[in-house]
Amino acid sequence: MRYGHFDDGRREYVITRPDTPLPWINYLGSEAYFGIISNTAGGYSFYRDARLRRLTRYRYNNVPFDLGGRYLYLRDSASGDFWSPSWQPTQSELEDYECRHGMGYSAISSCRNGIEAETLYFVPLGENLEIWRMRVTNKRDGEAKLSLFSAVEFCLWDAQDDQTNFQRNFSTGQVEVEGSVIYHKTEYRERRDHFAYFACSEPLAGFDTQRDTFLGAYKGWDSPAAVERGESFDSVAHGWAPCGSHHVELTLAPGESKEVIFVLGYWENPDEAKFDPPGSQTVSKKPVAPVIERYLRSDEVESAYQGLRDYWSRLLGILQVQTPDEHTNRMVNIWNAYQCMVTFNMSRSASFYESGIGRGMGFRDSNQDLLGFVHMVPERARERILDIAATQLPTGGAYHQYQPLTKRGNDAVGSGFNDDPAWLILGAAAYLKETADLSILDEPVTYDNEPGTESPLYEHLQRSLRYTLDRLGPHELPLIGRADWNDCLNLNCFSTTPGESFQTTENKEGGVAESVFIGGLFVLAAEELAQIAGLRGQTDEAKVYRADGAKMDTVVREHGWDGEWFRRAYDYFGDVVGSAKNEEGSIFIEPQGMCILAGIGLDDGKAEKALDSVSDKLATKHGIVLQQPAFTHYYVNLGEISSYPPGYKENAGVFCHTNPWIMIAEAIIGRGDAAFDYYQRINPSSREDISELHRCEPYVYPQMIAGKDAASFGEAKNSWLSGTAAWNFVAVSQWILGVRAEYGGLRIDPCLPKEWERFEATRRFRGATYQISVSKPKGVCKGVAQVTVDGKKIEGNLIAPQPAGAEVVVEVTMG
């Protein structure tokens, strides 16, 4: 069953009924000001940091699930009937409800009793504000007298404190109202320099800024007292819960339309110009006034919206493909790329499943998010790599997370996730392959943000590799530390206290837990660093890294191979994990993917065998589960993974992030049908028809789909913010379609389903545009027989970079 449809021409998903199984959301903003918005206008906004600079309040896990948002109410003065044109929160019956989620904007439209309303929500490029543009049209035969009310609830900035510290916060709220603008200025004194504003393009009939006055005692957002009676109270918040509500009166002739614009924004004043007049406590509004005035104008709003659409056309234009499969086209050309931008921006902080108060930017997460984003805005990827590296510890180790506002490592979560450092090498390598900008390697970067400790980025990469070599266990495999990629495989934790965090509790000393996964990752990272060293002319060093990699490769084959698949780890006591010897958790997906990506077992049949085992034991119709058999009880020596019920999350759920590793592995060994089949199983677009089961948005990847041991096998959870986005993008574009940036140019090395006969792609790469067409006889999956560039045959399948501005035609014949 579907709840809408794709409109690929407009790059939108169109939701045609408001009661989707879960809130189906979108993101507003692409640089510093962000918001999440659901198909019924739920959600919230923040500036840079979802925890520390929250503009609007949201109550997570609410009933109904999605309540609190960017609400508008219409009220018919004649009948007193009032409704929400976005359905929530009044849930009044609507004719023609439609929500169009697009690239950085959402538009919700509906009709009730002949009154049509369409609201477009977006954040203009380069601005720290969001626009709500509402168009109301009277489709009735007679005149309509209407009242329009807006409503947001302000958050008192720190979203965590806001939800807990009521004894203080109920006494701090402050606002100012001037003309049609409501200023939320809680704590805007000598200490705090920022405020929020909520402006309206029309003269007001009234306003409210005290939530309880606007709503009325014991009443909810579904029937605010002001809306019910058709008149604001002009309340000015003192303490309690400041809100923002404008009241606009509209009289529309039959057929007449009226546009009303609301602007919600964030502003910082410099210390010396905070107050007007100086010495008062009144917010100086002079600097922000021109911005507000500009975006309350219809023409400016329209051109900012067009600007946003053009921006996305440009970004998405960097890679466009035409394949025989519409789901592939749609995801590669539109939604997967878009999701990569969102995960790059948000890391794991703010979604309907991430509250925005818990987690900063993950060290390993952000490095992986880069992989799917770097081709779009390489300058931002560059900045991110340097930010991440600046939090690295002198040992080469890493804080597991850092805060985006301060860019400092997060002490609360700490470090010791021993895979973290290696991902920095992969992130940097992806940037270098895309741009050939070797200068990044010489950028001076601190350790632990400590001024004076700067060393070139290159040295950070060296220390990353060293970190693993300095921490080898009895089999000479890397010690796992707190955990590796699988945060929930906690081999040194031994937690017996309920509620204790597996990620932060003190580890038991003296163990020897080792990770085969990090072994694979190390082999991959060592080869990447060897290539980077080679580019710098440091050939001796490159040899050393290759030798380190080769040694680890041998160790993995020797101690990491179980006979039919790669083992997962050795536990604290040196006992094997992920082996046929284990009754539960005898095979894990991660080392099968990572070891093969690193090239281990390609020459001796191990890779093929491991992938056959994945197919036999882990693959399901809804994707490949993380391990089998699922853990049916808690294993104190394995940690969090065994705390989940079977089939969920890391305990044998389809943890989607890992699936593309298997797709890539299949592509590496040339099994195009298998690679593509796995790709299709979790492709959200190809799951659209089972939306009632899948439940999450059909346009973005979720973190997890419940595995076959779960009661709700096939049900997705935790949509949007997941390494799944970047890795699937890499798998399909670079390995299945095979269009891959390398240091020496653009490699075209597809691995396709047998049935396919051709596909086309356009790729902009280092300033030149490549029009690529690939053809192949049926029955072949892999192998390039001939490549021509502008009609001239080249050696091999690596196209040397063409001059910036060039447009070249590339013809690839497989066979």
Question: Which residues of the chain form contacts with ligand GLC (CB under 6 A)?
Answer: 348, 362, 364-365, 485-488, 503, 640, 649-650, 703, 722-723
Minimum CB–partner distance for residue 658 and ligand GLC (Å): 8
- Number of Cβ atoms within 10 Å of the Cβ of 640: 21
Ramachandran region, residue 578 (left: φ > 0; alpha: ψ -120 to 50; beta: rest): left
Nearer Cβ to ligand GLC, position 89 or 702? 702
Tokens coding 634 = 């808690």
- How many angstroms separate the CA atoms of 657 and 212, rounded? 44
- Mention every residue, 6+ apart, whose C-beta is less than 8 A from residue 280: none
Q: Could you tell me the smallest distance in angstroms from the CB atom of residue 722 to ligand GLC?
A: 6
State in angstroms the smallest separation of the CB of 655 from ligand GLC: 6
- Catalogue the active-site residues: 487
Laid out side by side, the sheet with 716-719 consists of 654-655, 702-705, 716-719
Which residue lies nearer to ligand GLC by CB, 130 or 571? 571
Q: Which is nearer to ligand GLC, 137 or 658 (CB)?
A: 658
What is the smallest separation between the CB atom of 703 and ligand GLC, expressed in angstroms? 6
Q: Based on CB atoms, which residue is closest to ligand GLC, 33 or 353? A: 353
Q: Which two tokens stand for residue 464?
A: 């990353």
Burial profile 432-448: b = 16 or more Cβ within 10 angstroms, e = fewer: bbbbeeeebbebebbbb
CA–CA separation, 700 and 719 (whole Å):
7
For every residue of 315-349, which 3-state class applies, written as one string?
Answer: HHCCEEEECCCHHHHHHHHHHHHHHHHHHHHHCCC
Nearest-CB residue for ligand GLC:
487
C-alpha dist (Å) from residue 526 to 209, 421, 669: 58, 12, 21
Q: How far is the CB of 348 from ligand GLC (least distance, A)?
A: 5
Q: Which neighbouring-strand residues pair with 320? A: 762
Task: Using alpha carbons, select from 21, 18, 39, 23 the residue that is nearest to residue 712.
Answer: 21
Shorter beta-carbon distance to ligand GLC: residue 506 or 558: 506
Question: Which C-beta is closer to ligand GLC: that of 365 or that of 459?
Answer: 365
| Distance from C-alpha of 260 to C-alpha of 298, rounded to nearest angstrom | 9
Residue 633: CB minimum distance to ligand GLC, A? 18
* Between 69 and 707, CB nearer to ligand GLC: 707
Nearer to ligand GLC, 647 or 723 (CB): 723
d(CA 73, CA 223): 10
**Identity of residue 450:** E
Q: Which of 397, 483, 380, 482 is nearest to 448 (CA)?
A: 397
Rounded CA separation 240/228 (Å): 22
Eight-class DSSP state of 478: B
Tell me the closest approach of the beta carbon of residue 258 to ligand GLC, in angstroms.
Answer: 46
CB of 673 to ligand GLC, least distance (A): 28
Q: Which is nearer to ligand GLC, 110 or 627 (CB)?
A: 627
C-alpha distances (whole Å) from 447 to each of 301, 405, 457, 731 are 44, 18, 10, 33
Pairing mode, if any, of strands 768-775 and 807-814?
parallel
Q: What is the CA radius of gyration of the chain?
A: 28
Assess contact for 246 and 262: CB atoms under 8 A. Answer: yes
Give the 3-state secondary structure of 196-240.
Answer: EEEEECCCCCEEEEEHHHHHCCCCCCCCCHHHHHCCCCCECCECC
Shortest distance in whole angstroms from residue 180 CB to ligand GLC: 43
Q: Which residue has the tokens 């980025």?
A: 457
State the minimum distance, in angstroms, from the CB of residue 349 to ligand GLC. 11
Q: How far apart are the first and last CA of the chain?
A: 40
Closest CB to ligand GLC among residues 363, 770:
363
Shortest distance, CB of residue 362 to ligand GLC, whole angstroms? Answer: 5
Q: Quote the least distance from Cβ 354 to ligand GLC, whole Å.
A: 9
Which residue, 627 or 722, is less far from ligand GLC as judged by CB? 722
Question: In whole angstroms, how close is the CB of 418 to ligand GLC at the nearest point?
Answer: 13
What's the chain's length in residues? Answer: 815
Beta carbon nearer to ligand GLC, 291 or 371:
371
Which secondary structure element, helix H or strand E, spans residue 722, and what is its range? none
Residues 102-129 as b/e (b if ≥16 CB within 10 A, e otherwise) read: bbbbbbbbbbbeebbbbbbbbbbeebbb
Q: List, in sequence order, every residue forming a beta bridge with 5; answer none if it has no partner.
A: 14
The Cβ of residue 174 has, within 10 Å, a number of other Cβ atoms equal to: 21
**DSSP SS3 for 275:** strand
Alpha helix ranges (H) inside 231-325: 289-295, 298-316
- Closer Cβ to ligand GLC, 122 or 727, answer by number: 727
755 in Cβ contact with 777 (< 8 Å)? no
